[in-house]
Structure 1
């Protein structure tokens, strides 16, 4: 039997070009991929980075009116279908950027259940170093993800000391790779298949665990502004 290809997805909310946020996402993802392959020579890993900057208008439209573009839907599907997620945001005013937060605000509540998530952030000053623990980790705890113990924070000065940053990346990527390689998400979902509350267009619907919704009823027509027959 051919080994399953593991999917690693990094979400980068960097807004500059070039972006240190994307650079950090790439370095973490490649380190995690290398760690998985080093432990299992037969392992296959697909790694991709989703940049939120080109999706900014689509994210705003979805947040304001619930209209989801195909490009945004594709990004959401990639995140929901991943075996592990690397979430990276720049920090400007002691918190995640609105772009980063809005992307996960419009995601289904159950899209990250039991998913290994590595949290990382970039900033111009070390004063923002606690953002991962004070803001990002609670968000992903609410989404019921498994956040790895080590987050990676990189201030501007850290890029001038690459050895120290590289060690932090390796440590966090190693923790992340162990969770992903062990298939933690699939195992938890299999054990607790019916134990979680589900939301519309969720993993549950995708796996056929909820009944299809019939939109052609008087109630649904009234709910969407139409009239009953």
Structure 2
């Protein structure tokens, strides 16, 4: 029963994530709340669905990441994606991330190209001189659902030296593009075009 329930939640969460990626509205909150409750229960009992459970936890983390991005809380989103081990941010992490791809479920892989594109878009935003004013462009921010497994402390990444941050973003962009070239999955042409635009924005930022 646990395996079956976990599989259903994974499928529903994957659909909810794709809806969130493609729109500016939060996914079905009842599904998210229920999935979080089930994940808590799953973590507290011995079970034989480790891979299914790992997929569930990863999908919940991905949802949180996208929530922060969509609500324009870019610094928190940037911190979260670096904690998730989904993408490499140093050359030494590339092999590990390539290895992990072999173990990701179809539910995770379905949204993986979008996560790559969203992450480079996020880095391009952080690298831009317009970043500060971009935060004030819209008052129609999404209200974040429930609480996440990540702490809610404010971020300090942009309080450091601006040039230092830019150098780090450019270095990480190089890592991600090397990684993208090694991926065993094909990205659609329009995704490649958008990735190149983001890469150019990051590398040309000053």
Higher relative contact order (CA 8 A, sep 6+): 2
Q: Which has the larger radius of gyration?
A: 1
Please state which structure has a larger fraction of its residues in strand. 1
The TM-score with structure 1 as length reference comes to 0.23
The TM-score with structure 2 as length reference comes to 0.25
Please state which structure has a larger fraction of its residues in helix. 2
